[in-house]
């Protein structure tokens, strides 16, 4: 009888080891790729998972591994922010109104899980925060006057070799020393200080706040009456790139792009050559190259009548958001399907967000 039972006991021990090893494999190699909300839900699986998820090493790896757009921070002027999730079960925040900050704020920019806000008090202080863990940093006061609607762009590129979240905040501001000119000031978190660039961009133009994007060391802003202003951080040089007045700036195919919508399609063009204005007149090289054409119809939007002039609210690598009349629809490039996000006009300000565990 005893001999007959021994193999059963051994088999049970082997199965237990297999299950334990599989659990450890999932814990150590899979959880990194999940958004923060999903990660916290898995912390209830067992004590080991809970302890692992709350380690600095796990949080660091998750912020490097998960980079998908999770939703959008939205805000009307004078009101608190709110969060519009692309998938409520997977993406969410404990305090989307950002009430954990020391004062009421206005949304300015975002980058890979961090949000840049500006206080409404007299000091107009900048705050960098992560709404998931409610951590924030108040930045020192800039050297220059950034104005009431600063054109700032937050840059945070997670690095596996750096456990400290280092970021930059770039502001293009109207010069007080020269008429019809823009200057640039950069905050660097590594040294905790601002520095005004020596570059000055002359020309009678006005930048659109919250239109800026960062791609491979260059920051781009939309110009109100047409064109795109580019500022190369490495070369400390600026340039005006020809472009029309419609559409939004974004990032697709690893390059800066422009996205525009008509009554029957969405067109996405990437920056092909920003130096075409220096080429010969006979050159066939184009500044912008159309890369994506998305058919747009009432049926693709669930039967909603088409707006003669729909607008693009966001254009990213895998997600785009279009406003049709007063409704917002997301477009998934992988499934090539539209999804209704909100049935009424959601907000004037629209900031993308990644559900990350990055710590400040």
pLDDT exceeds 80 at position 28: no
Q: Is 100 left (phi over 0), alpha (psi -120 to 50) or beta?
A: alpha
How much is the pLDDT for 49? 77
Whether residue 360 is predicted with pLDDT greater than 50 in this model: the reply is yes
What is the rounded distance in angstroms from the CA atom of residue 3 to the CA atom of residue 121?
A: 80
Percent of the chain surpassing pLDDT 70: 88
> For a pLDDT cut of 90, what percent of the chain falls above it?
60
Most confident region among 52-56, 231-235, 297-301 by mean pLDDT = 231-235
Query: What is the mean pLDDT of the segment spanning 337-357?
Result: 85
CA distance 144 to 147: 9
Q: What value does the mean pLDDT take over residues 203-208?
A: 89
CA pair distance 174, 164, nearest whole angstrom: 32
Place of tokens 């539209």: 338
Band (pLDDT 50/70/90 cuts) for residue 164 is confident
Residues 85 and 176 in one domain: yes
Give dist(CA 155, CA 153) in Å, integer.
Answer: 6
**Do residues 307 and 297 touch, judged by C-beta distance below 8 A?**
no
22 in a domain, yes or no? yes
pLDDT of residue 39: 81
Q: What is the pLDDT of residue 20?
A: 54
Q: Do 90 and 183 have their domain in common? A: yes
Q: Looking at the structure, do residues 14 and 48 belong to the same domain, yes or no?
A: yes
Q: Are residues 127 and 272 in the same domain?
A: yes
Q: For residue 174, what are the contacts with CB-CB under 8 A and spacing of at least 6?
A: 147, 181, 182, 183
Q: Calculate the alpha carbon distances from 189 to 56, 156, 186, 210 in Å.
A: 20, 10, 10, 21
Considering the domain architecture, whether residues 49 and 83 belong to the same structural domain is answered as no
Relative to beta strand 114-119, strand 193-202 is: unpaired
Tell me the average pLDDT of the chain: 87
Residues 6+ apart with CB under 8 A from 117: 81, 98, 101, 105, 106, 107, 108, 126, 127, 129
Q: What confidence score (pLDDT) does residue 152 get?
A: 98
CB atoms within 10 A of CB 267: 17
What is the rounded CA–CA span in Å between residue 171 and residue 233?
Answer: 12
Confidence of residue 221 (pLDDT cuts 50, 70, 90): very high
Q: Is residue 36 part of a domain?
A: yes
**Stronger pLDDT, 204 or 131, i.e. the higher one:** 131
Q: What is the pLDDT of residues 98-155, one digit of tens each?
A: 999 999 999 999 999 999 999 999 999 999 999 999 999 999 999 999 999 999 999 9
Taking Cα atoms as reference points, which of 5, 4, 57 lies closest to residue 28? 57
Q: 197 and 248 share a domain? A: yes
The pLDDT of 322-345, averaged and rounded, is: 89
pLDDT score recorded for residue 280: 47
Q: Is residue 358 part of a domain?
A: no
What the block records as the tokens of 22 is 């599989």
Q: How many domains does the chain have?
A: 2
DSSP for 178-217, please give it: STTEEEEEEEETTTTEEEEEEEEEESS--BPTT--EEETT
Q: Are residues 133 and 237 in the same domain?
A: yes
For the stretch 137-152, pLDDT in tens is 999 999 999 999 999 9
Would residue 95 count as lying in a domain? Answer: yes
With 70 as the cut, is the pLDDT of residue 262 above it? yes
Does residue 7 share a domain with residue 151? no
Top pLDDT among 5 and 243 is at 243
CATH of the domain at 282: 2.120.10.80
Domain that holds residue 318: 67-353
For residues 205 and 252, state if they share a domain: yes
DSSP tag of 300: G
25 is a domain residue: yes
- Sorting pLDDT into bands at 50, 70 and 90, what band is 346? low
Integer Cα distance of 14 and 279 in angstroms: 71
**Strand-pair partners of 221:** 229
Q: Report how far residue 255's alpha carbon sits from residue 317's, in angstroms, rounded to the nearest whole number.
A: 9
Pair 180, 75 in one domain? yes
Q: Do 42 and 128 fall within a single domain?
A: no
pLDDT band at 273, cuts 50/70/90? confident
* 208's tokens: 């659109």
**Is 87 contained in some domain?**
yes
How far is it, in rounded angstroms, from Cα 349 to Cα 118? 13
Determine, yes or no, domain membership for 360.
no
Summarised one tens digit per residue, pLDDT across range 63-91 is: 888 888 999 999 999 999 999 999 887 78
**Taking residues 209-229, what's their average pLDDT?**
94
Residue 242 has which token pair?
């020809």
Residue 277's pLDDT is what? 53
The answer to whether residues 347 and 314 touch, using CB atoms and an 8 Å cutoff, is no
Lowest mean pLDDT among 34-43, 56-65, 167-176: 34-43
300 and 155 part of one domain:
yes
Q: Residue 348, SS3?
A: coil
- Residue 62, in any domain of the structure: no
């Amino acid at each position: 009888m005893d001999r007959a039972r021994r193999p059963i006991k051994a088999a049970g021990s082997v199965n237990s080891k297999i299950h334990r090893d599989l659990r450890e494999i999932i814990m150590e190699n899979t959880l990194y790729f999940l958004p923060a909300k999903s990660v916290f839900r898995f912390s209830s699986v067992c004590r080991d998972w809970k302890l692992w998820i709350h380690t600095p090493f796990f949080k660091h790896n998750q912020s490097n591994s998960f980079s998908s757009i999770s939703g959008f921070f939205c805000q009307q002027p004078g009101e608190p922010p709110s969060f519009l999730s692309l998938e409520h079960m997977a993406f969410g925040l404990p305090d989307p109104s950002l009430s954990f900050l020391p004062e009421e704020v206005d949304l300015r920019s975002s980058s890979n899980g961090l949000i840049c806000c500006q206080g409404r008090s007299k000091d107009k202080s900048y705050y960098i925060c992560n709404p998931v863990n409610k951590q924030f940093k108040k930045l020192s006061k800039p050297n220059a006057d950034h104005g009431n609607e600063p054109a700032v762009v937050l840059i945070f590129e997670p690095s596996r070799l750096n456990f400290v979240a280092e970021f930059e905040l770039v502001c293009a501001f109207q010069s007080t020393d020269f008429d019809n000119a823009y200057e640039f000031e950069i905050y660097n978190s590594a040294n905790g200080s601002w520095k005004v660039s020596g570059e000055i961009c002359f020309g009678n133009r006005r930048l659109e706040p919250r239109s800026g994007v960062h791609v491979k060391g260059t920051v781009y802003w939309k110009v109100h009456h047409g064109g795109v202003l580019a500022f190369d951080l490495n070369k400390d040089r600026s340039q005006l790139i020809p472009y029309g007045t419609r559409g939004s700036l974004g990032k697709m195919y690893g390059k800066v792009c422009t996205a525009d919508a008509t009554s029957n399609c969405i067109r996405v063009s990437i920056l092909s050559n920003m130096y075409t204005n220096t080429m010969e007149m006979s050159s066939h090289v184009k500044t912008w190259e159309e890369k994506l054409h998305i058919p747009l119809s009432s049926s693709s939007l669930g039967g909603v009548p088409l707006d003669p002039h729909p607008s693009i609210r966001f254009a990213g690598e895998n997600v785009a958001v279009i406003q049709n009349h007063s409704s917002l629809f997301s477009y998934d490039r992988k499934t090539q399907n539209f999804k209704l996000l909100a049935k009424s006009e959601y907000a004037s300000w629209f900031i993308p967000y990644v559900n990350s565990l990055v710590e400040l």
